[in-house]
Structure 1
Amino acid sequence: MIGWSFTGMPLLQIKDNAVEVAGAMFSGLIHPDWGYVWTGDGEDLVSTLLQTIAIAFIGTFISAIISLPFAFWAANTKHKNWLVSRSGKIILTAIRTFPEIVLALMFIKAVGPGAFAGVLAVGVHSVGMLAKLFSEAIENMDGGAGESVTAAGGNRLDVTMLASFPQLLPEFVSNTLYRFELAIRSASILGIIGAGGIGTPLIFAISARAWNRVGIILLGIILMVTLVDYVSGAIRKRLV
């Protein structure tokens, strides 16, 4: 079976100008276009990186709010019929089935190219993942605190506000921050198909073989992702 699968692979073919093209790429990457960092026209590196962060942040923020009712729907607790929670889990699985790039293509057709399509793609896809993580946090929640509030004469609202919410809030915020880290990477790619962010100038630079422009964009993406991961990780360590 493995040998048969290799028979469908084309033979390695290297173009005559491969060495020249590789040299141009390498030269451009190690000599980035520093003049592109800031031009003031809104199309420079700093502006598009900020747009990428905004797409990821707004999409994650919206999805975190929408995910809450889905999480309680899908959570399998002792006070709920398992069919109800199972139906919620099926819905969340169906949402996660669609990759963000597919959602972005669909939203581009619906609302046009730009950052708004990227926000919708990140937001919808994040609902499936965040709601799943939120529901697991609800299922693993310690019920002792809620029983204590009930024994003291508290009603269901008191149990939610005094026992459940304080336990779940750190988990919810931590999972949302983790999802934001992933959304940054996704938003960096969605621009390649027209959904705004740093991906748009990146694909233009690659198409024009402006390797020095590609180099500075890649450096910017690396710096942005590293900084967001560091800040988000530091906050999550304080919460958990």
Structure 2
Amino acid sequence: MQAMMSNNKPHLSLWRRWNWLVWLIIVAVVYVWAIGGLQFTGLQESAGSVSKSIVHGLVNPDWKYVYNGSGEDLVSLILQTLAIAFLGTIISSLISVPFAFWAARSEKEHYRLRSGSGKVVLTLIRTFPEIVLAIMFIKAVGPGSYAGVLAVSIHSIGMLGKLFSEAIENMDRGAEEAIVSAGGNSPQVFMMATLPTIMPEFISYTLYRFEIAVRSASILGMVGAGGIGTPMIFAIQTRNWPRVGIILLGIVVMVLLIDSLSEQLRKRLI
């Protein structure tokens, strides 16, 4: 028996010594396969002049577009983008709560089928990208902010539901056990123990999702779902690079402010 174990040890030590080389070869093969599948057509003859025009427009933005009182200026459309992201996140955070309890694993054996079905549903919801949902809702309800809100909210349900369910699975059960031992019933356990324990994480995940929704809402307008993306795609199509420059600058400032504010709020919650 000892002889057999001693014979296996060299094989194990050999694998541990050279397993990195095996993984390196696998990664190299994948990279070669991926690069080989790309077709490089080269640069167009006008690439140089177009690039100069883009750079010149980006470094010389159209400051007059910041605010002109027309309702189609940068400030107004950024506020509309924030409204789409905020409303979509609020709707999804509320709807995600029952999905989260549906998908959360339980120690009881007969609840595993329920949890598995909930996770499958949330995965299916997350499968559809927001841009695809926006195009579908535009066909259903018409172009505009309403389609953007629906796209953001539906896609966010899949992500927030997953994060909420993980928070429920990993929560500290000490407070629940204390209330049960004191004679508390299920509603009392939920209101006095479960909800206060998971609420900070729920709010933190919602703020994080709002950051992502702001970026998504900035892009959804490019397919007609409202927000700052609509004038940006028009400016790109007409090669109005100074307009593109001021819009990109506004998006960068908006995202930085939202990220900074959200980070400060999450630090206070957790």
Short-chain TM bin? over 0.9
> Residue in 1 aligned with 2:107?
78
Residues 176, 8 of structure 1: CA spacing in aligned structure 2 closer, same or farther, 3 A cutoff?
closer
Matched, 1:201 2:231: yes
**How many angstroms apart in 2 are the aligned matches of 1:157 and 1:198?**
45
SS at the partner of 2:51?
A: helix
Query: Which is greater in Rg?
Result: 2
Matched, 1:122 2:152: yes
CA RMSD of aligned residues (A): 1.4
The one-character-per-residue Cα deviations of 1:96-115 (angstroms, maximum 9, x if unpaired) are 00000010010000000000
> Residue in 2 aligned with 1:221?
251
Alignment of 1:40-119 (within 5 A): 40-79=69-108, 81-119=111-149
The one-character-per-residue Cα deviations of 1:192-224 (angstroms, maximum 9, x if unpaired) are 000000100000000010000000000000000
> Residue in 1 aligned with 2:190?
160
Structure 1 stretches of at least 4 aligned residues deviating more than 3 Å after TM superposition: 1-12
Task: Measure how far apart 1:118 and its partner are.
Answer: 0.4
More relative contact order, 1 or 2 (CA 8 Å, 6+ apart): 1
Q: Identity of paired residues, percent?
A: 61
Q: What amino acid sits opposite 1:222 in the alignment? A: V
Task: Measure how far apart 1:10 and its partner are.
Answer: 3.6
SS at the partner of 2:184?
A: coil
Task: Measure how far apart 1:14 and its partner are.
Answer: 2.4
**How many angstroms apart in 1 are the aligned matches of 2:120 and 2:43?**
47
The one-character-per-residue Cα deviations of 1:13-72 (angstroms, maximum 9, x if unpaired) are 322222211111111100000000001111000011001100000000000000010000
What residue ranges of structure 2 are gaps of 5+ in the alignment? Answer: 1-28
> Residue in 2 aligned with 1:173?
203
Number of equivalent positions: 240
The one-character-per-residue Cα deviations of 1:113-146 (angstroms, maximum 9, x if unpaired) are 0000000000000000001110111111111111
What residue ranges of structure 1 are gaps of 5+ in the alignment? Answer: none
Give the TM-score normalised by structure 1.
Answer: 0.96
Among 45, 49, 58, the alignment partner of 1:16 is 45
Task: Measure how far apart 1:156 and its partner are.
Answer: 0.8
**How many angstroms apart in 2 are the aligned matches of 1:29 and 1:174?**
35
Compare 3-12 and 206-215 and name the one that shifted more.
3-12
> Residue in 1 aligned with 2:5?
none
**How many angstroms apart in 2 are the aligned matches of 1:3 and 1:127?**
37
Q: What amino acid sits opposite 1:15 in the alignment? A: Q
**How many angstroms apart in 2 are the aligned matches of 1:8 and 1:185?**
30
Residues 233, 153 of structure 1: CA spacing in aligned structure 2 closer, same or farther, 3 A cutoff?
same
**How many angstroms apart in 2 are the aligned matches of 1:5 and 1:63?**
36
Residues 7, 55 of structure 1: CA spacing in aligned structure 2 closer, same or farther, 3 A cutoff?
same
Task: Measure how far apart 1:183 and its partner are.
Answer: 0.4
